[in-house]
Structure 1
Amino acid sequence: MMPSVGSFMTKSVGSGRGAKRLGAALIVCALALTLTACHGSKTTQSFSVPETFDETDNITVTFWAKNDTNKNQTAVYERAASEFEKLYPNVDVNIRLYTDYGKIYNDVITNISTNTTPNVCITYPDHIATYLQSEDSVVALDELMNDPAYGLGGSEVRFDSPTKDEIIPKFLEECSFAGYYYALPYMRSTEACYVNRDFVEKLGYTLPDIMTWDFIWEVSEAATAKDSAGNYIVNGQKTMIPFIYKSTDNMMISMLKQLDAGYSTDMGEINIFNDTTADILKEIASHGKTGAFSTFKISSYPANFLNAGQCIFAIDSTAGSTWMGAGAPLSDIAEENKVEFETVVLPIPQYDTSDPKMISQGPSICIFNKEDPQEVLASWLFAQFLLTNDIQIGYAETEGYVPVTSKARETEEYREYLSLSGTDDLHYKTKIDATKLLLDNTDYTFVTPVFNGSASLRDAAGALIENVVKKVRRKGTVDDAYIEELYADIRGLYRLDRISGTGINGAADLGPLPAQSVALLATIVVAWICIGIAAFFKYVKKPRSGN
């Protein structure tokens, strides 16, 4: 067995002060070299891919997924598990279904502390950034993806796995942060504006291909007019909310992105509390005050109002398209409350229609680290199986999702699915239109920076809008003084001052030390080495008594 540095020094120079000084010098030297390399960062990955997959070992893979209460999605997950188990009989896939990403996120956070996380999880990159605060919790997928045997398109994979190049590059890149791939994209969606064209034209307007914010505000205000009996003129009902936005966090993020205004940096510096945000909030508040605008959290699902003829512009995910519009297969309202109208699917409003920007969203797949590398490898194989054509196309057909692989998109089966728009519920026209919206505009999509606390910042962005709309609905005033107070409240509530600039690992990555600091440390190291050498020779020359 090789002796340690400490034992070697003891045997060579004894245990006097010279040995201690020299040992101290070497310790300082090692510390200095560590400091000069990098400061303020840490690594989180320790998993290594096994050489072979042990098929004699019985493994259980726990899969946490979200299904939007859509039975068709549940069926796809169950089929995926069943078919995978046939390919790998030693693996048992247990599925736990959720109806809300937030609940998955909270349960994962709870289970990390007890090492009882699932093996595979449907999630968002913002959530993974928080999971990574527990070291080694989430597996970096780079080594797995590139493994020649079990990686994407690997030689030992028992199904037709897509290669890395067959995953849509923009979607794969969304899963890369802090220098690693921590997820695979599973499905992608964006936001769409579902419009009652009949009401727009009744109000005297012509619907453009891409709406501006000015257009949607103007039409929404026009729709608030009432007759002498208190009925809204546009629909003849007592209820009309012309414009409802489902996700106000996406609303604020998208408006800031379109205006090239501050939100956050990649390192997590919080820039949202700026003058542009204040102007946006004042504009939104003015329309909330008249009743022209509301939100899901304040009024309920946009689809319910749209389908009842009580809303003109309903912005929601393309992944919710089967609930939207006249004839929606999954509409939640009573039949007698539904109205017939022409449903049009458009991009969200823009400040500059020549340079549209729309958010990219949709579930990704992450893998949690376990003590047994075989268990992690089985989890990776199942996650990879979710990218096969049958699963990708099957799940995409349940909603306005798009497959994340070119391999699936280019199949005759998927092309036929898109071509049959309007023929039945599976090919519900509004759903197909929502799907095509993303397929045609992928290059215009964007994502927000991912860092420790980015999920909190996203919540805060939505809370700003929710608060100003509530304020004016309660007859309050939204002015500079109120916004300054609101900024302070939101900072504190979401602890944004504590996370600003923290990066992915919760501590700011300060990069390499400045040159002056390196020089100072080097001088200290040299001085200690000289002291140690002098002490060593002094000790060696010192007369000793015989044994």
Structure 2
Amino acid sequence: MKKILLSIIMVAFTFTLVACIGGERGQGGGGKLVEWYELSPDTEFDTETPVTIHFWHRMGAANEEMVTKWVAEFKEMYPNITVVLTKAGADYNQLAEKVSLSIPAGNTPDIAESYPDHISRYAIAKAPLALNNFISHPTLGYSEEELEDFLPSLWAEGTSYDNEGTILSLPFTKSSEGFFYNKTYFDQHSLNGKTYTELVEAGLTWETLFEIAQDIKSREPEAIPFGYDSEDNMFITGSKQWGAPYTGYNAETGRGEVLFNNAQSKEMIKYFKDKVDKNLMLTRTLNAEAFTSDIFKNGEKLYMYVGSTGGTRYAYDASSFNKGVRVGVAPLPHFEGKERAQIQQGPNINLFKQDNEQRMIAAWLFAKYMISAEKTAEYAIPSGYAPIRYSAYETETWTKYVAGIKENPTTLAEAQNKLVKEAIDMFRNNGDIFFTSAVFNLSSKTRTEVGPLLVKIFSYKATSAEDLNTYIDREYQNTYNFITN
């Protein structure tokens, strides 16, 4: 019954996740990406024999401290399970590289933080553990009600690897991007008879955003009003919103395709380059690798930016708060008359095949513990990552947090708490516009390269429109060739 339910849920999802691996996917490319582990319905977990499992992550100190507390709590539940936490990289790419190297060496962790692109690399070696029979297990798995408790789009990401419904990851700490703005400043200034804040609340378009930016520039010539932290996300989300192909899945050939080298994408890039050239916007790399949120809160004439909701607290610091700055958050701007869309992000967790079945069950039990309603609510509050289960919003942890929100904060902590809740509410209320891009053997490399491509074009000092077009054509082709060859 549970397997049937999973199929029903897949059909009901509000967006399609396209994916393939090694250039191929699912039915058109040979069935299951990874064979489902045959966990017998009669299998039980041995609570007596000691077992050690390893969880590799890239968390910062505060989040690692929280998970360390979870490990101690889990140990009280299962005294024979020892969980070893290892910070295996300073960022997701470093972590993925270390995991990739562990596969041929035969010393993979039991659990790792992961993005779908990373898991697609691991799956070339058939290393990830397919979780379908763990999920549907009568005693170790999830009930129908528990499956329905997960936010559908977040659960769907774990099934995006083939056409057979193979589940290779579980949602963990999920986020999107948010449009953060200096609400104090936006309340004080108007355009076309409406305050900037009213324009944001009405549903901001890119066209209106840059009208606001130009209006700010007319008063403050030294300002660069808008920033975007992630060039990768800007390219991918901009492509989706503009209607420009980025990557995709060819149903006829059963292969993933790199598609960004097209006229629509180049027009989208030129739209934003024009704003960079007019000093209306910058990106993190153009800001010497400093987050644009740092300029925003330091009062250096940047009044709005796009950044991860997982970093919501960084929109404030004591100095900006004490100067009276209050921050608002909204969905990303969209192009007038075009699709609203913004990227779904944040790591999942995946498990790896091991020779010892009890070890895999122990890892599964700890994974379930980490994504329980109480724990996902607990993780969200200090970070801005959204709880991944409906019931998380009904836990005492979450309801107590919400009850303590001050509409007119008088301390930095109160202001941060208010903004985190608003960012999570924005995430919850806009699930229909979130998307993920295709997952296949070149998808990770494509994402890694389109960000630098965007920066090159933004930085180029063209002598004419023809010169710019020639440069863009050449750099697009060079990047495409580097990815696909």
TM-score grouping bracket, smaller chain normalisation: 0.7 to 0.9
Max Rg structure = 1
1:82 equivalent to 2:75? Answer: no
Residue 62 (structure 1) aligned to one of 47, 54, 71? 54
Letter in 2 for 1:445: F
Letter in 1 for 2:453: L
Q: 1:139-158 to 2 correspondence within 5 Å? A: 139-153=129-143
Instruction: Give me the whole-angstrom Cα distance separating, in 2, the residues matched to 1:397 and 1:141.
Output: 28
Letter in 1 for 2:383: E
Counterpart secondary structure, 1:428: helix
Deviates more, 1:274-283 or 1:255-264: 255-264
1:112 equivalent to 2:103? Answer: yes
Deviates more, 1:87-96 or 1:213-222: 213-222
Aligned residue pairs, count: 433
Equivalent residue number for residue 309 of structure 2:
318
Letter in 2 for 1:148: P
Q: Is the 8 Å Cα contact of residues 39 and 134 (structure 2) preserved in structure 1?
A: yes
How far is the alpha carbon of 1:435 from its aligned partner?
1.2
TM-score (norm 1): 0.73
Q: Is the 8 Å Cα contact of residues 343 and 430 (structure 1) preserved in structure 2?
A: yes
Q: 1:234-313 to 2 correspondence within 5 Å? A: 240-266=223-249, 267-299=255-287, 300-310=290-300, 311-313=302-304
Residue 445 (structure 1) aligned to one of 434, 438, 454? 434
Equivalent residue number for residue 485 of structure 1:
474
Q: Is the 8 Å Cα contact of residues 56 and 111 (structure 2) preserved in structure 1?
A: yes
Unaligned runs of 5+ in 1: 1-36, 155-161, 227-231, 328-334, 499-547
Q: Is the 8 Å Cα contact of residues 134 and 140 (structure 2) preserved in structure 1?
A: yes
Letter in 2 for 1:446: F
Letter in 2 for 1:76: M
Counterpart secondary structure, 2:461: helix
Q: In the superposition, relative to structure 1, how do residues 340 and 75 fare at CA in structure 2: closer, same or farther (>3 Å)?
A: same
Letter in 2 for 1:118: P
Q: In the superposition, relative to structure 1, how do residues 273 and 224 fare at CA in structure 2: closer, same or farther (>3 Å)?
A: same
Q: 1:132-211 to 2 correspondence within 5 Å? A: 132-135=123-126, 137-153=127-143, 163-176=146-159, 177-178=161-162, 179=164, 180-200=166-186, 204-205=190-191, 206-207=195-196, 208=199, 209=201, 210-211=203-204
Unaligned runs of 5+ in 2: 1-26, 250-254
Instruction: Give me the whole-angstrom Cα distance separating, in 1, the residues matched to 2:106 and 2:258.
Output: 32
How far is the alpha carbon of 1:478 from its aligned partner?
6.2
Q: In the superposition, relative to structure 1, how do residues 131 and 39 fare at CA in structure 2: closer, same or farther (>3 Å)?
A: closer
Q: What CA RMSD, in Å, does the superposition of the two structures yield over aligned residues?
A: 2.7
Deviations 1:8-47 (A, max 9, x none): xxxxxxxxxxxxxxxxxxxxxxxxxxxxx98766743263
Q: 1:285-434 to 2 correspondence within 5 Å? A: 285-299=273-287, 300-310=290-300, 311-325=302-316, 327=318, 335=319, 339-352=323-336, 356-422=340-406, 425=413, 428-434=417-423
Letter in 1 for 2:178: A
Counterpart secondary structure, 2:47: coil
Counterpart secondary structure, 2:248: coil
Counterpart secondary structure, 1:75: helix
Deviations 1:415-443 (A, max 9, x none): 33234323562762222211111111122
1:48 equivalent to 2:38? Answer: yes
How far is the alpha carbon of 1:220 from its aligned partner?
2.2
Counterpart secondary structure, 2:382: coil
Q: Is the 8 Å Cα contact of residues 254 and 359 (structure 1) preserved in structure 2?
A: yes
How far is the alpha carbon of 1:246 from its aligned partner?
0.8
Deviates more, 1:174-183 or 1:412-421: 412-421
TM-score (norm 2): 0.82
Instruction: Give me the whole-angstrom Cα distance separating, in 1, the residues matched to 2:209 and 2:28.
Output: 50
Counterpart secondary structure, 1:64: strand
How far is the alpha carbon of 1:145 from its aligned partner?
0.5
How far is the alpha carbon of 1:247 from its aligned partner?
1.1
Instruction: Give me the whole-angstrom Cα distance separating, in 2, the residues matched to 1:346 and 1:399.
Output: 17
Equivalent residue number for residue 534 of structure 1:
none
